[in-house]
A and B are shown apart, each in its own frame.
Chain A
Amino acid sequence: MTAIEDTAAPAPLIRSRHRSRLDRREGRAAFFFLLPGLIGMVLFLIVPIIASVVLSFTNWKLLGTPEFVGISNYVRLFTADPQFWPVVRNTLFFTAEYLVLNIVISLGLAVWISSLKMGQRWFRVIFFLPTFTPGIAVAIVWMLIFSPGGFFDYVMGALSVQVPSMLTDQTLAMQAVIIVSIWAGVGYNTVLFNAALDMVPQSYLEAARIDGATAWDRFWKIRLPLISPTLFFGTVMTAITSLQVFDQIYVMTRGGPGNATSTLGYAIYQRGFQNFQMGYASTIAWVMFAMIMALTAVQFWLQRKWVHYDN
């Protein structure tokens, strides 16, 4: 019956019917191909995201039933929790200093490496190595370096510089965490920026050189604008990860001395998995998310002033 209809129908109709059957078959195939990923995504991404919002409005402490408490977690966080503002300040302080140092140092190293005639890839590998090693192992060796009477104190003593022990000093502990984070994190951006510099057409630089531009001019007026989209990408990604800093702090200072190095990431762990305040910790997580979004938005807004897209 259908066969007769098909042959009798005008050509375009056959095509479209054939197509729609094909589409349906493709749709079914797509469903099966996507199924494992979808199940995983719903179970381990979508449900947790929703649960995290809901939890942040409860007072759940892992045992017992969660009780809906409205926005009181948020109110308590912003108005009553004596540790919250110091933690926010520590996080912003870490992110600001780390971000600036990371971008400046990695850009400097990238430019330096790209000026070399040989061995570029070996220098890239060396600066990249910490990126591929466990953050915990990195933090542990730096803890030894910074321990009282350790290598850092020895160098400072040799230079006759009087510094208190880094990890036990209220103001210096965060600096120690930042040094470690820079050492561990600068390599990725170095390779990223170095790759972007490699892609700047040599002809542009040659032309500028012939026109009498100094090396400094060539850097500021040609290379930097041309790699600015990559620089922007690196800055955004680095900011997002640095707001979440955790491993170094867990190993080196546990948020101390006092509260000096306690950041949002550490506070979420502490409240959630040491005090079992799951609801309250979720509230902190959402504050962190809001900060990440805000910082990213600011960066996207600022990019109009300094990022040059070549189109």
Chain B
Amino acid sequence: MTTRTRSGRALALDILNHGALTLVALLFLFPFFWMVSNAVRSNAEVLAIPVRLLPNVFEWDNFAKAWTQLPFGRFFLNSMIVSVSVTLITVVVSCLSGYAFARLKFPGRDALLMAYLGTLMVPAIMLIIPLFLIVNNMGMVNTFQGVILPVSFGTFGAFLMRQFFLSIPMELEEAARIDGASRLRILISIIVPLSMPAIGLLSLFTFIGQWNNFLWPLIVMTGSDNATLPVGLTYFQSQQGTQWNFIMAGAALSMLPGIILAILLQKLIYNSIALNAGMGGR
């Protein structure tokens, strides 16, 4: 009897615990709700006092209107071009360098690896000015090369891939060596297929990092047609009076890829962060 009441109380506490955190989570999600709720009302109603949680009239076509009012499709495409290109270059360069660091002997290897790690400590914002000057000198202001190339050679990827390659058994490639396969061949047909989890991780975080990047595209893409999505969003602000409903619709659309990826790939994200936690920053 006592065990039953005790377990009954534990169950009640459990339900309370889950319920309370659900409440906190709903409060936390409120800004997302507020964004969508304001995206589908008229601009007058966005600013109306008192505030209403839901619009009087749902104007779902605001999403379509926002999309056409500014060259939003263009911004979306620009963001996609930049994010995909940076991700591709980063993955290829990181795999090549990571392989050299993990599997090849050459003089100064450890010193070079330390230099790679050292550059990770330099904050991005410090390099913004000289990077802009380099891009400017190469005549790449307001071009896709200008926005893509300078952010594609971060040294983190090389380090990540090296760590992963080290965990792949040497024997797997030795057989191929004996058969006379070149190093590049081995990398492409043996190492890379085995490294898909690490490559997936690097791609995911690079893609999202670029999709959300603001300051660098803001500085390089000076023409309004070449703006990426985050920069394009700020254009609603500078026009005659802010069009709050359209800006909310645009912001919601710009969030979609990240939200979808976060939900679809939650396990991969958790595992990658858990890896960090496991290393404890050591």
Contact = CB atoms under 8 A, between A and B. Distances in A.
B212 interface: yes
A150 B51 CA distance: 7
B170 interface: no
Interface residues of B, number: 93
Given A23-B105, A285-B125, A133 B273 contact: no
A232 B281 CA distance: 8
A116 B19 CA distance: 10
A45 B244 CA distance: 39
Given A195-B274, A247-B214, A52 B130 contact: yes
A3 interface: no
Given A27-B106, A33-B183, A116-B17, A134 B134 contact: no
A149 B244 CA distance: 14
Contact of A43 (B129, B134, B215, B234): B134
Nearest to B29: A126
B222 to A, nearest CB: 10
Nearest to A140: B251
A292 interface: yes
Contacts of A43: 134, 153
Contacts of B127: 44-45, 48-49, 52
B81 interface: no
Nearest to A180: B31
B219 interface: yes
B31 A145 contact: yes
B58 interface: no
Most buried by B among A26, A113, A136: A136
Contacts of A27: 104-107
Interface stretch (B59-67, B194-202, B252-260): B252-260
Given A134-B229, A229-B282, A246-B125, A30 B106 contact: yes
A228 B275 CA distance: 15
Contacts, number: 276
Contact of A288 (B47, B126, B155): B126
A37 B28 contact: no
Provide the main secondary structure of the chain A interface. Answer: helix
B87 interface: no
Contact of B234 (A136, A151, A199): A136
B259 A134 contact: no
B50 A154 contact: yes
Contacts of B100: 29-30, 33-34
A134 B211 contact: yes
Contacts of B254: 133-134, 136-137
Interface in B247-282: 247-248, 251-252, 254-255, 258-259, 261-263, 266-267, 269-270, 273-274, 276-282
A85 interface: no
Interface stretch (A4-12, A96-104, A169-177, A268-276): A268-276
A26 B106 contact: yes
B35 A141 contact: yes
B280 A196 contact: yes
Interface stretch (A76-84, A160-168, A185-193, A206-214): A185-193
B215 A247 contact: yes
Interface of A: 23, 26-27, 29-31, 33-34, 36-38, 40-41, 43-49, 51-52, 55, 109, 112-113, 115-119, 121, 123-129, 131-138, 140-142, 144-145, 147, 149-151, 154, 183, 188, 191-193, 195-196, 198-199, 227, 229-230, 232-234, 236-237, 240, 243-244, 246-247, 250-251, 265, 268-269, 272-273, 278, 281-282, 285-286, 288-289, 292, 309
Interface of B: 14, 17-18, 21, 24-25, 28-29, 31-32, 34-35, 38, 46-47, 49-51, 92-94, 96-97, 99-100, 104-107, 109, 112, 116, 119, 122-134, 149-153, 155, 158, 183-184, 187, 208, 211-212, 214-215, 219, 229-231, 233-234, 237, 244, 247-248, 251-252, 254-255, 258-259, 261-263, 266-267, 269-270, 273-274, 276-282
Given A26-B104, A44-B153, A136-B230, 14 more contacts: A27-B104, A29-B104, A37-B97, A49-B119, A132-B212, A134-B229, A137-B251, A141-B248, A149-B51, A195-B276, A195-B277, A229-B280, A247-B214, A309-B280
17 contacts: A44-B151, A45-B127, A47-B130, A55-B129, A113-B21, A125-B262, A134-B212, A134-B254, A154-B51, A193-B277, A195-B277, A196-B277, A232-B280, A236-B281, A243-B123, A251-B234, A281-B129
